Structure 1
Amino acid sequence: MAKILNVHNLDKTYSSGSKKLTVLQDISLSIEESETFAIVGPSGSGKTTLLGLCAGLDRPNSGSIELCGTEIERLTEDERAVLRNKNVGFVFQDFQLLPTLTALENVAVPLELQGSKNASKISRELLEKVGLGDRFHHYPSQLSGGEQQRVAVARAFSNEPSILFADEPTGNLDAETGEKVIDLLFNLNKESGTTLVIVTHDLELAQKTQRILRLKGGRIIENPISAS
């Protein structure tokens, strides 16, 4: 299996006045195409920071990240945005839907950025898949938390990403709704063959993935080798 993500000796430090806070230290990992992978650890262990670096949303202080065959730390902001829009999907804890757009319009955004002529058709099909065929024209404020997250899941798959990053995707949902959203995420993921990387503090959710990387204090304390 080809590697879709390779991370080598990653460090991330933030400066606050004269103080330096090391959030990640000497992180190395690799993830294969179509693999499901969880990053777990206590609050403050660097999980979300690592996810952001892997997705090219932030830059490391040192180390290298190769995403979809491209060394992303060499790219400009614009080049990284193009790479993300072409290859990456996101699901966030707080949904991050655009409040002035309907469910249909939110799902269509990544497609329209790519210049797709079928944005509306694909978005309708995806919303139907996630059980929101009767919510096309509802705005986020008219949807429940679970419905908003299902819109976010549909949007994440709309550009047929090679890799999908989910940051605490059930963090703002009750247990029953969270379970439904996770089932949906894994089912769509299996259907599309996307690589799925989940940051979570929920060990039950993490155990649904093929591999679990554990962080503590910005360092890896467990990183099982891939099956291949």
Structure 2
Amino acid sequence: MAKILNVRNLEKSYTSGTKKLQVLYDINFEVEAQKTFAIVGPSGSGKTTLLGLCAGLDRPDSGSIHLCNEELGKLSEDENAVLRNQKVGFIFQNFQLLPSLTALENIAVPLELQGDKGATRIGKELLEKVGLSNRAHHYPSQLSGGEQQRVALARAFSNRPSILFADEPTGNLDSETGEKVVSLLFELNKEAGTTLIIVTHDLELAKKTQQILRLKGGRIVENEKTW
């Protein structure tokens, strides 16, 4: 199976005042296409930083990241943005829906901006898949947290991404709602044949994936495959 993500010798630090804070040390791992993968670890272990680097949202101090057969460090900001638009999906803990757009518009508008003539049709189909056909014309403020995250799920799959990054997708949801969202996430992911990478502190969620990477203090302490 082809590698969709290959990370080699990754290091990342931030400068705070006069202090340099090292966040990630010599990170090496790879993810095969169409697999599910979790990054776990305590708060401050570098999980979200690693996710941002792998998705091309930030640049490392050193090391390389190959995503969808492209070396991110060799791409310009514009080329990086094109790669994300065409190949990558995102789900965030705080949903990040646009408040002035309805549920349907939140899904369809990104597709329309890419020139997809079937944007509204795709949006309606995805809303049906996440069980929200009857909420299509509601705004985020009129939706519960679970409903907002289901809209965010639909939006994440709208551009048929090769790889989907989910940062604490159940972090703001109660356990019952979180379980429903997770079931939907894995269901949609399997149907689409997408690679799924989840950052989570929820070990039960992590155990549903095929590979678990554990971070502690910015270093990999375990890389376990369950397939």
Matched, 1:218 2:213: no
**Does structure 1 retain, via aligned residues, the 8 Å contact 2:97–2:140?**
yes
**Does structure 1 retain, via aligned residues, the 8 Å contact 2:5–2:30?**
yes
**Does structure 1 retain, via aligned residues, the 8 Å contact 2:212–2:225?**
no
Tell me the residue number matched to 2:118: 118
1:49-72 CA distance string (max 9 Å, x none): 000000000000000000000001
Q: Which moved more, 1:173-182 or 1:72-81?
A: 72-81
1:89-132 CA distance string (max 9 Å, x none): 00000000000111001011331232100000000000010000
- Deviation for aligned residue 1:46: 0.3
Distance 1:225 1:174, change over 3 A: closer
Matched, 1:16 2:11: no
Amino acid at match of 2:159: N
**Does structure 1 retain, via aligned residues, the 8 Å contact 2:104–2:137?**
yes
Aligned to 1:224, what secondary structure does the other structure show?
A: strand
**Does structure 1 retain, via aligned residues, the 8 Å contact 2:4–2:32?**
yes
How many Å separate the matches in 2 of 1:110 and 1:83?
Answer: 14
Aligned to 2:57, what secondary structure does the other structure show?
A: coil
1:153-202 CA distance string (max 9 Å, x none): 00000000000000000000000000000000000000010000000000
1:181-226 CA distance string (max 9 Å, x none): 0000000000010000000000000000001000000000001358
Tell me the residue number matched to 2:94: 94
1:12-48 CA distance string (max 9 Å, x none): 0001121000000100110000000000000000000
Aligned to 2:86, what secondary structure does the other structure show?
A: helix
Gaps of 5+ in 1: none
Aligned to 1:52, what secondary structure does the other structure show?
A: helix
How many Å separate the matches in 2 of 1:25 and 1:226?
Answer: 25
Pairs aligned (count): 227
- Deviation for aligned residue 1:73: 1.2
Aligned to 2:42, what secondary structure does the other structure show?
A: coil
- Deviation for aligned residue 1:75: 1.1
Amino acid at match of 1:223: N
Matched, 1:67 2:67: yes
**Does structure 1 retain, via aligned residues, the 8 Å contact 2:210–2:225?**
no
Identity among equivalent pairs (%): 77
CA RMSD of aligned residues (A): 0.9
Tell me the residue number matched to 2:178: 178
How many Å separate the matches in 2 of 1:141 and 1:77?
Answer: 33
How many Å separate the matches in 1 of 2:14 and 2:110?
Answer: 31
Distance 1:225 1:207, change over 3 A: closer
Kindly report structure 1 stretches of 4+ aligned residues shifted beyond 6 Å.
Answer: none
**Does structure 1 retain, via aligned residues, the 8 Å contact 2:92–2:169?**
yes
Tell me the residue number matched to 2:4: 4
Tell me the residue number matched to 1:37: 37
Amino acid at match of 1:196: L
Normalised by the size of structure 2, how large is the TM-score? 0.98
How many Å separate the matches in 2 of 1:113 and 1:166?
Answer: 23
Aligned to 1:134, what secondary structure does the other structure show?
A: helix
Tell me the residue number matched to 2:47: 47
